[in-house]
């Protein structure tokens, strides 16, 4: 089953491809560290995904200069920043504002409400997205807080500032 909702996106700017690739290169070491830590601390996530462990998810925070490619396969775990024009073919795509996506990871926002209000776009294999959502719902604590804590005081300060500036639509 495939569902789509619309989220507005900015039009491409000259030089954007170079900026996207540079942003991907800068953020990739952080993403690699984060995905290894989350996977080691929350290995039960994989079991909840069942056959969708090998699904390629494209997570697209619309205001960032890149998207994220996630393959939650414990034998071949991938979380990488990708320029949108070089994104791999995804089994499922999740698109929305960065802070909405972050709040959804920690179950602090209602994914159904975000979808039906068109703040969140889901396309492709919706069963895979539901499995991912259910797996994240089962995590005790906050993945965002855990990730911020990996970077000490600066990480916690950045997350706090992001959360204070976030205004749900």
Q: Return d(Cα 85, Cα 63) in angstroms, integer.
A: 15
Domain total for the chain? 1
The label of the residue with tokens 């959502």 reads 133
In the prediction, which pLDDT does 150 show?
Answer: 92
User: Can you give the residue range of the structural domain that contains 52?
Assistant: 16-141
> Does residue 166 belong to any structural domain of this protein?
no
* Average of per-residue pLDDT across 67-90: 94
> Considering the domain boundaries, does residue 10 fall inside one?
no
Q: What is the pLDDT of residue 5?
A: 41
Q: How far is CA 32 from the centre of its chain?
A: 13
Asked whether residue 79 carries a pLDDT value surpassing 50, the answer given is yes
Q: What is the pTM of this model?
A: 0.83
Residue at 58 is within a domain: yes
The residue-averaged pLDDT of 8-34 equals 77
User: Is 92 inside any structural domain?
Assistant: yes
pLDDT (0 to 100) of residue 148 = 93
Phi then psi for residue 102, to 5 deg, are -65, -45
| Residue 150: other Cβ atoms inside 10 A | 13
In this prediction, residues 74-91 reach a mean pLDDT of 94
Residue 8 is predicted with a pLDDT of 40
We report the CATH number of the domain holding residue 26 as 3.30.1050.10
Residues 37-67 pLDDT 10s: 999 999 888 889 999 999 999 999 999 999 9
Question: Does residue 8 lie in a domain region?
Answer: no
Amino acid 1: pLDDT:
39
Percentage of the chain surpassing pLDDT 90? 63
Does residue 48 lie in a domain region?
Answer: yes
């Amino acid at each position: 089953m495939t569902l789509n909702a619309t989220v507005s996106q900015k039009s491409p700017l000259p030089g954007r491809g170079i900026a996207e690739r540079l942003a991907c290169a800068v953020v990739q070491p952080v993403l690699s560290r984060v995905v290894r830590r989350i996977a080691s601390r929350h290995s039960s996530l994989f079991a909840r995904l069942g056959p969708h462990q090998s699904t390629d998810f494209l997570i697209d925070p619309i205001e960032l200069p890149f998207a994220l490619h996630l393959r939650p396969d414990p034998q071949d775990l991938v979380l990488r920043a990708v320029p949108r024009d070089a994104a791999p073919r995804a089994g499922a795509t999740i698109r929305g504002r960065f802070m909405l996506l972050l709040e959804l990871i920690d179950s602090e926002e209602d994914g159904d409400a975000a979808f039906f209000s068109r703040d969140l776009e889901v396309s492709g294999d919706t069963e895979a997205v539901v499995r991912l959502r259910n797996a994240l719902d089962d995590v005790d604590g906050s993945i965002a807080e855990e990730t911020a804590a990996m970077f000490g005081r600066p990480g916690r300060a950045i997350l706090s500032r992001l959360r204070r500036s976030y205004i749900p639509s």
